[in-house]
Structure 1
Amino acid sequence: MKETFTEYTRHYAKDIPASLVVFLVALPLCLGIALASGAPLFSGLITGIIAGIVVGALSQSHTSVSGPAAGLTVIVFSAIAELGSFELFLLAVVLGGVFQLILGLVKAGIIGLYFPSSVIKGMLAAIGLILILKQLPHFLGVDMEAFGEMAFADKEGGNTFTHFFYALQHIHPGAAIIGFVSLGLMILWERPFIKQHSILGLFPGALIAVLSGVGLHLAYIGAYPAWTPESQMLVTLPNINSIASLQKALAFPDWTGILNPVVWKTAAVIAIVASLETLLSIEAVDKLDPHKRHSPKNAELRAQGIGNIIAGMIGGLPMTSVIVRSSANVASGGETKMSAIYHGLLLLGSVLLIPGLMGYIPLASLAAVLIFVGFKLSKPSLYRQQFKIGYNQFMPFIITIIAILLTDLLVGISIGMVVGVFFILRANYRTPYHYDDEEVVNGQPGKRIKITLSEHVSFINKASLQTTLDHLPDGAIVTIDGYRTTAIDPDALELIYDFVINAPERDIKVTLQNCPHIEGMTVEEH
């Protein structure tokens, strides 16, 4: 049953404080993700505002909060470079939103269940590693051009590792100190004694990191100007004080690229990856919700699609439901989706009222926030967990990571999906039945074999079943029992009956029990 607006707003006593915490988390992340995406910093704030107000209003999730996502940074950075224009990229965002809206309308929210979780986790882990590697220039105060594109190799012959060593040789001392202090505070703020503190625990680590960066920047200006970060190492936002300045600050899609196949490819990738990340986030945050409310996935896809259409129309980045913001919302006591809307209004107020103050934020602090986010996406415990689950899960996971790091996101995911499907097929190949045998039959030498079919026998099991039947010993007494089986593929059933017909040639005696009938086969035993 849908709640009315009045029923939502009556929880303001919990939603407003929660929205303030989410705003403090979202502000540095909106700026940082735009930075990592190679897009104007203002575009990250545009997305945060639309995701909060528009998607928050349209979504039927009580606790999910949307915004620009770390999982899309690689796609955005590569797409802007490939298209050669931010305006063409915005067109791809609009089309990606249309694709998402269509997915929601045709009720495709279930698609997330068909992607191997090991591949999705591998994708997020690889993005975490890329965030760490690609943010090092800003973290150390190196010119951003030093690292080239988001792909492993660039057009000049360099790659991620050569750029890494370049950064280590061109450190800006003031920016590097800001970066390390910010990262240290992020780590400190994760400690239990901080989280459980009645006052310190109210402030997110990302905000503390950014404030420390601002403080050090101001200290450099007064005490040691030589270490002051240069203007290109600071956040730059437009000063919006009129309609004309707002129009100038916004960017708009380049509709002349509507027939460009790269635009359509980028739109499809945005729609697929953003939808998957949204569905995964929604599933995760629903588990965190103390009321265990269920978020309609198709409604969420429609809301995200509309949000991306609007964001692309006015210069924003693509958005998803984001687990970092959403979990902060739940942990802060957010009761309804109004907390997401309130946080969007707070972002809007910060853009209109304090853009000048944001100009004191060093990019090194934002890079520290993103490096910490990258670590959380790719933390060692994730690798241990996947390894413990088993070979069939770990191999697609690790191969997806390696493939993305050495190629790009789309190619890497494709390789990961192929490997993931291979291991799924391999697992199914091995488990279509239970096999028992005896060496002696009624006191005489011989072989009695019973094959008990599994609950589901699909075409995937055909190869395994064929191999087993082909290798049965001549002269054996074989029983094939389907009492457990609720569904058997016609191809597999036909294979069984072909074996029955040809078994006398190998002096094999076969009995079928509880197996479906095939037209023309009337005998139970050969």
Structure 2
Amino acid sequence: MLRYLKNDIPASIVVFFVALPLCLGIALASGAPLFSGLIAGIVGGIIVGALSGSQIGVSGPAAGLAAIVLTAIGALGGYENFLVAVVLGGAIQIIFGILKAGIIGYYFPSSVIKGMLTGIGIIIILKQIPHFFGYDTDPEGDFAFFQIDGENTFSEIFNIVNFISPGATMVAFLALGILVLWDSFLTKKAKIFQLIQGPLVAVAVGILFYYLSKDNTIWNISSDHLVSVPIPDTVESFLGQFSFPNFQVIARPEIWITAFTIALVASLETLLCVEATDKLDPQKRVTPTNKELLAQGTGNIISGLIGGLPITQVIVRSSANIQSGGRTKMSAIIHGFLLLISVILIPRLLNMIPLSVLAAILFIVGYKLAKPALFKKMYQLGWKQFVPFVVTVLGIIFTDLLVGIGLGLGVGIAVILLKSYQNSHFLHIEDKSNGKHKIKMTLAEEVTFFNKGAILKELDSLPSNSYLELDVSKTRYLDNDIIEILEEFTVKAFNRNIDIKLISERGVVENPDSYIEFFRLRPKLGEL
């Protein structure tokens, strides 16, 4: 692990710059103390990073939980009461891990996961456009379509015209130029440019620009366009930023309902992110999902005990880590230590970083997730891949992450059911034999109640005075609903003068009297 430090340290710095404003912004969007977002980021980096089985995933406070947190703090009667739900939510996640619930993560269709990555990439770009031009009314980390400032994703962009900050915009374009130059040209010229990451240089230029222009009436950047880390004056005031759960309310039913909601949503977001980061991982390593739930649960317990927000694995930070060359979990752990050290030692320096510079960094992250070539590739794979992909992308852009995933998953399931309906059997009609049409129907390897309509339609459409050869020799699972259809068809076949030959792995049966007895009374055929 240590031999990859030359990759992990530069990557951790990039993740640190991405995570810092998101931790603060998500806390603000959640109606929680600003420091609670930093606590969650630190715990997510150090604790969850150390316990996780993911080598490139990065955890911290999640935008998807912001609305839940905002509502729960008010409903539960204060932040200290809410922290009890966070701790309990972590304990429930550990139970999920012990019960092997992480296996759910393996059942998300590839098209939906790719749609999730692309949708997140697009929404990052759209949400960062206002910050790029110095319009910062909506906090970082608010990724929902309908924003907490009363606007939506697109109306916020249209409002930029009236609120452009010349200084913030100028330094954003400088930072973006540095990042593009670094990424497409300089890193290929010398190893020093691979070791020193472009985002670090962009942030340094941003701090320098702020310092040199602060007395200029046109180009100065006001404090509301800068990172805003709490600055404690003494050790006591620093420690006073930590909050602790009020366990006296643990018996209240609404605490447990909130805890279960946090555990469920945080687990789903984590499993989705795990699937996505595993696809992005150049080494294609597979994260043990149950171990990840145990790590996330432990992280949420610790975060809740010291005043932090709920934690999940986060795709924005994880993808920034991968794109910056992170190779092992050390990059996530180091980013956690960077958060901890910086808020203690250099909060004033952090508060000189323009948010527009961080928006430029996130532009690059978003573009790499949502490259136009991916749309072409998904289209070429056919409509069964393209439709769930597009629905997921649009769902994320116009609602939020979980709703978008749900819509894409729903469409993906509908496609599966449609193909299952179509592929339940193969029909072959031969020429007339002895005055009767010979029709061969071969059932698929697995035939379930989803195939009921297709098979029933085919059987009912068979002409009278025909000959049906029903081949189930390759069928390994035959649902009871299908057996009942075949049973009922024996009566119809007799009335319509249709002869039947049943071909199974046990032999051939001419005009079986009872399919139910045939399949159930013979041991191996009963397993069909």
Q: TM-score, normalised by structure 1?
A: 0.83
In the alignment, what sits opposite 1:275?
A: 270
- Residue among 390, 395, 398 paired with 2:390: 398
CA distance 1:107–1:98, shift in 2 (3 Å)? same
Name the CA distance, whole Å, in 1 between partners of 2:268 and 2:34.
Answer: 22
- Residue among 201, 217, 227 paired with 1:208: 201
- Residue among 302, 327, 334 paired with 1:310: 302
CA distance 1:238–1:195, shift in 2 (3 Å)? farther
TM-superposed deviation, 1:325:
6.1
Residue 127 in structure 1 maps to residue 120 in structure 2: yes
CA distance 1:44–1:186, shift in 2 (3 Å)? farther
In the alignment, what sits opposite 1:168?
A: 161
Name the CA distance, whole Å, in 1 between partners of 2:172 and 2:246.
Answer: 37
Say which SS state the counterpart of residue 218 (structure 2) adopts: helix
Root mean square deviation, CA, Å: 3.5
* Aligned partners of 1:92 and 1:266 also within 8 Å: no
Listed as ranges, the gaps of 5+ residues in structure 1 are 1-10
- Residue among 422, 435, 454 paired with 2:444: 454
* Aligned partners of 1:21 and 1:202 also within 8 Å: yes
In the alignment, what sits opposite 1:356?
A: 348
In the alignment, what sits opposite 1:236?
A: 228
Query: Map of 1:270-349 to 2, 5 A cutoff?
Result: 270-281=265-276, 283-284=278-279, 288-289=282-283, 295-321=287-313, 337-338=329-330, 340-349=332-341
In the alignment, what sits opposite 1:22?
A: 11
TM-superposed deviation, 1:155:
8.6
* Aligned partners of 2:113 and 2:276 also within 8 Å: no
* Aligned partners of 2:21 and 2:140 also within 8 Å: no
* Aligned partners of 1:481 and 1:515 also within 8 Å: no
Which of 143-152 and 109-118 deviates more?
Answer: 143-152
CA distance 1:102–1:385, shift in 2 (3 Å)? farther
TM-superposed deviation, 1:18:
3.7
Measured against aligned partners, the alpha-carbon deviations of 1:190-243 in whole angstroms (never above 9, x if no partner) come to 316525631112233332332222222223236x34321111111122335754
Name the CA distance, whole Å, in 2 between partners of 1:339 and 1:156.
Answer: 34
CA distance 1:231–1:428, shift in 2 (3 Å)? same
- Residue among 20, 23, 27 paired with 1:31: 20
* Aligned partners of 1:175 and 1:229 also within 8 Å: yes
Residue 190 in structure 1 maps to residue 149 in structure 2: no
Name the CA distance, whole Å, in 2 between partners of 1:475 and 1:293.
Answer: 59
CA distance 1:93–1:132, shift in 2 (3 Å)? farther
Which of 446-455 and 394-403 deviates more?
Answer: 394-403
Which of 402-411 and 170-179 deviates more?
Answer: 402-411
The amino acid that maps onto 1:78 is A
Identity of aligned residues (%): 41
In the alignment, what sits opposite 2:423?
A: 431
TM-superposed deviation, 1:491:
1.5
TM-superposed deviation, 1:355:
1.8
CA distance 1:406–1:293, shift in 2 (3 Å)? closer
* Aligned partners of 1:282 and 1:295 also within 8 Å: no
Which of 322-331 and 166-175 deviates more?
Answer: 322-331
The amino acid that maps onto 2:176 is L
The amino acid that maps onto 1:213 is G
* Aligned partners of 2:91 and 2:298 also within 8 Å: yes
Which of 269-278 and 149-158 deviates more?
Answer: 149-158
TM-superposed deviation, 1:119:
2.8
CA distance 1:196–1:463, shift in 2 (3 Å)? farther
Say which SS state the counterpart of residue 501 (structure 2) adopts: strand
* Aligned partners of 2:427 and 2:442 also within 8 Å: yes
Residue 507 in structure 1 maps to residue 501 in structure 2: no
Listed as ranges, the gaps of 5+ residues in structure 2 are 507-513, 522-528
Name the CA distance, whole Å, in 2 between partners of 1:396 and 1:270.
Answer: 21
Name the CA distance, whole Å, in 2 between partners of 1:314 and 1:511.
Answer: 72
Residue 59 in structure 1 maps to residue 42 in structure 2: no
* Aligned partners of 1:32 and 1:370 also within 8 Å: no
Measured against aligned partners, the alpha-carbon deviations of 1:419-441 in whole angstroms (never above 9, x if no partner) come to 22111111111111222111332
Measured against aligned partners, the alpha-carbon deviations of 1:280-311 in whole angstroms (never above 9, x if no partner) come to 156337x634xx76543211210111112222
Name the CA distance, whole Å, in 1 between partners of 2:381 and 2:24.
Answer: 36
In the alignment, what sits opposite 2:524?
A: none
Which of 176-185 and 248-257 deviates more?
Answer: 248-257
Name the CA distance, whole Å, in 1 between partners of 2:5 and 2:150.
Answer: 51
